[in-house]
């Protein structure tokens, strides 16, 4: 009797397990698919036999394959995970070829001035740009005889060609005589300037006027001493800074990049006046807090002094001092007056 009862119980439990198995398999499979999908592993395939999970599919990497196996093993109710996942072959990324550089045809223009005559030679894109260039030349070289030998049209000019030609012409005006050559995205300017101030202004004007796509070079000599009256160190510095001052970013001690031509001239004068010692003096206008202005003028003077030292001037030959708004160059509150009062001066402290 007991044996018969036990046999019936075993049979009943087997039938119950057989009925529950599909439910368990479906539950494990759904939870496995959800976990893998949430982890971004849509490539994984899941089969469940009882409590055994078999993973398939093509993993993008060994790391992804291992992560899928780990996620499956962590599921409640899973007994073992069979890994039949393959790994996709590594993809070789082929970088796209860069686009070919734009074709820029050389457009040669020569502007030549001897003080009394201006010659325009070379290529100009069309009649309209020719007229603008000739008109500008006539206005800027009012006392010169303008000779137009330009060739019109025939080829496409580089971008911003017209603006670059105008910048070259404006810079040439400041020279005693010289030549500007405009080629493919480049301007070369050679000539002679009457003094250092005009040389610095010429370089700055060209630098400011040229479009960003153009580069430039300048080779500008000074009128020889045989042709000009000799100047003292102080006179040279005063003349230079009156013609082209040192400029900073607004409210800052950062030197503007287009102040480089002026700073180069200052270095040459100071080096040529050795062993004299110099003071770099910073000045502001009357706007704002006087204490802040004093500190700003001191810091700007220090910035110029540092530039001189970095470019070869002996550190014991130059000092820096800020005067704030205490020593205006001119009286008044107009924008023009304030612009003149914001300045850097270089003073000879002791002549060698």
Assess if CATH 3.40.1520.20 describes domain 105-230. Answer: yes
List the domain boundaries for the chain. 21-87, 105-230, 231-352
Token pair of 104 as six digits:
């820029």
**Number of helical H runs and strand E runs in the chain:** 9, 14
State the 10-residue block means of pLDDT for the chain, 352 residues long: 50 51 79 87 84 85 87 85 77 62 65 87 84 87 79 73 92 92 90 89 92 92 54 85 91 91 93 91 95 96 96 95 95 93 92 56
Q: How far apart are CA 107 and CA 184, in angstroms?
A: 6
**φ, ψ at 174 (rounded to 5°):** -80, -10
- What pLDDT does residue 351 have? 59
Q: SS3 for 332?
A: coil
What is the distance between the alpha carbons of residues 78 and 31, in angstroms, rounded to a whole number?
11
**pLDDT at position 230, please?**
36
The reply to whether 105-230 shares the fold of 21-87 is: no
> What residues contact 199, with CB distance under 8 A and at least 6 apart?
193, 220, 222, 261, 265
Calculate the alpha carbon distances from 38 to 46, 56, 64, 68, 86 in Å: 14, 17, 13, 11, 20
CATH 3.40.50.1980 matches 21-87: no
- Angle CA 263–266–269, to nearest 5: 155
243 contacts: CB under 8 Å, gap ≥ 6: 195, 197, 198, 200, 201
- Please state which CATH number belongs to domain 231-352: 3.30.1330.60
Exposure string over 339-350, b if 16+ CB within 10 A, otherwise e: ebbbbbbbebee
């Amino acid at each position: 009797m007991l044996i018969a009862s036990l046999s019936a119980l075993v049979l009943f439990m087997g039938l119950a397990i057989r009925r529950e198995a599909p439910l368990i398999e479906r539950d494990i499979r759904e939870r496995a698919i959800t976990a893998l999908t949430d982890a971004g592993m849509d490539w994984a395939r899941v089969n469940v036999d009882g409590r055994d999970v078999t993973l398939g599919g093509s993993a993008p990497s060994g790391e992804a394959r291992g992560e899928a196996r780990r996620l499956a093993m962590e599921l409640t109710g899973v007994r073992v995970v069979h890994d039949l996942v393959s790994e996709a072959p590594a993809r070789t990324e082929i970088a796209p070829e860069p686009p070919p550089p734009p074709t820029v045809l050389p457009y040669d223009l020569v502007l030549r001035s001897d003080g009394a005559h201006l010659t325009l030679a070379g290529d100009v894109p069309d009649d309209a740009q020719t007229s603008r260039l000739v008109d500008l030349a006539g206005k800027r070289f009012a006392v010169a005889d303008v000779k137009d030998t330009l060739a019109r049209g025939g080829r496409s000019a580089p971008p911003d060609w017209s603006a670059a030609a105008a910048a070259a012409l404006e810079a040439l005006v400041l020279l005693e005589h010289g030549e500007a050559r405009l080629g493919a995205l480049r301007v070369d300017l050679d000539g002679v300037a009457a003094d250092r101030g005009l040389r610095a202004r010429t370089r700055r004007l060209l630098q400011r006027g040229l479009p960003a796509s153009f580069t430039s070079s300048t080779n500008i000599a000074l009128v020889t001493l045989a042709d000009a009256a000799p100047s003292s160190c102080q006179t040279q510095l005063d003349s230079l800074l009156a013609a082209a001052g040192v400029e900073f970013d607004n409210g800052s001690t950062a030197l503007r990049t287009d102040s480089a031509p002026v700073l180069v001239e200052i270095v040459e004068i100071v080096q040529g006046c050795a062993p004299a010692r110099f003071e770099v003096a910073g000045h502001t206008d009357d706007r704002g807090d006087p204490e802040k202005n004093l500190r700003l003028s001191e810091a700007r003077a220090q910035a110029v002094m540092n530039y001189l030292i970095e470019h070869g001037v002996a550190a014991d030959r130059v000092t820096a001092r800020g005067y704030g708004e205490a020593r205006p160059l001119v009286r008044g509150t107009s924008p023009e007056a304030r612009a003149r009062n914001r300045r850097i001066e270089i003073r000879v402290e002791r002549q060698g």
